[in-house]
Amino acid sequence: MFLILYLSWMSEPSDIYFTVARKGESTYREKASKFIGLAFPAASETEVKEILGSIRKTYHDANHHCYAYCLGPSQETFRFNDDGEPSGSAGRPIYGQILSRSVSDTLVIVIRYFGGTKLGIPGLIHAYRQAASEALDNAGKAEKVIAQNMIVSFRYENMNEVMRIQKEEELELVNQHFDNECRMTLRVRLSRLDKVMKKLIRIRNISTSLDTPDG
């Protein structure tokens, strides 16, 4: 039984991680305060800033716009912000909900309309955590593949061989230039990169290089 589980684990793709599938929303109320949770897929800090700017304009009359985000296959880039709430009472609980679902490339914003009654730090932690949790539940999860752009340069007479490998491996064609000297940029998932490169370099008069990865 252990061997079966071990082999199953070993066969798991190493180039897959998870993000939210779509925008998710929630509404949570506590002692007349209203908390609106919003979860978004976001692939870069630039995208995070754009979404935050848009939400602040839309909910310009709210008292707080607290948020957290994680980016990258290993959740290596992250940030959380209390936006004026007591330290640790808003951004960190939101961040904790992102971590608990093992998603990345994800932004969660929780907007608060103050209802006139103070909730205390435990009450705030609970409210922000709950609004974030429900928004993430409603956003769902989706797989994301780590891929790499490969630049392939070759002579025109080798085109059929290169195109055959592209079709066999179902590689995405990012761009191409065909002349006496041809050039193609192919999108290759990380777990298949070595196999594809070995196939290509068997062709005479061909060179390959890796473009900057963009996840």
Q: What is the full per-residue pLDDT of the chain (215 aa) written as tens digits?
A: 333 333 333 444 578 899 999 999 999 999 999 999 999 999 999 999 999 999 999 999 999 999 999 999 889 999 999 999 999 999 999 999 999 999 999 999 999 999 999 999 999 999 999 999 999 999 999 998 888 898 999 888 888 899 899 898 888 889 988 877 889 898 988 888 888 888 888 888 888 888 764 44
All residues at 6 or more sequence positions from 206 whose CB lies less than 8 Å from its CB, including other chains:
152, 153, 154, 155, 158, 162, 200
Report residue 208 as tokens. 């390959």
Asked if residue 130 and residue 109 are part of one domain, the reply reads: yes
Asked if residue 86 and residue 32 are part of one domain, the reply reads: yes
Per-residue pLDDT, 212: 61
9 in a domain, yes or no? no
Asked if residue 133 and residue 152 are part of one domain, the reply reads: no
8 in a domain, yes or no? no
Asked if residue 186 and residue 134 are part of one domain, the reply reads: no
2 in a domain, yes or no? no
Asked if residue 29 and residue 113 are part of one domain, the reply reads: yes
All residues at 6 or more sequence positions from 149 whose CB lies less than 8 Å from its CB, including other chains:
174, 185, 186, 187, 188, 210, 211, 212, 213, 214
Interatomic CA distance for residues 134 and 108, integer angstroms: 11
Report residue 21 as tokens. 């599938």
Asked if residue 161 and residue 124 are part of one domain, the reply reads: no
Asked if residue 156 and residue 116 are part of one domain, the reply reads: no
Per-residue pLDDT, 215: 42
- What torsion do the CA atoms of 96, 97, 100, 101 make, to the nearest 10 degrees? -150
Asked if residue 62 and residue 21 are part of one domain, the reply reads: yes
What pairs with residue 64 in β-bridges?
Answer: 112
Q: Last residue of some domain: 143, 164, 184?
A: 143
Asked if residue 126 and residue 166 are part of one domain, the reply reads: no
**3-state SS class at 58:** helix
Per-residue pLDDT, 66: 98
Per-residue pLDDT, 178: 85
Query: Range of 158's domain?
Result: 147-210
Interatomic CA distance for residues 12 and 131, integer angstroms: 33
Asked if residue 185 and residue 163 are part of one domain, the reply reads: yes
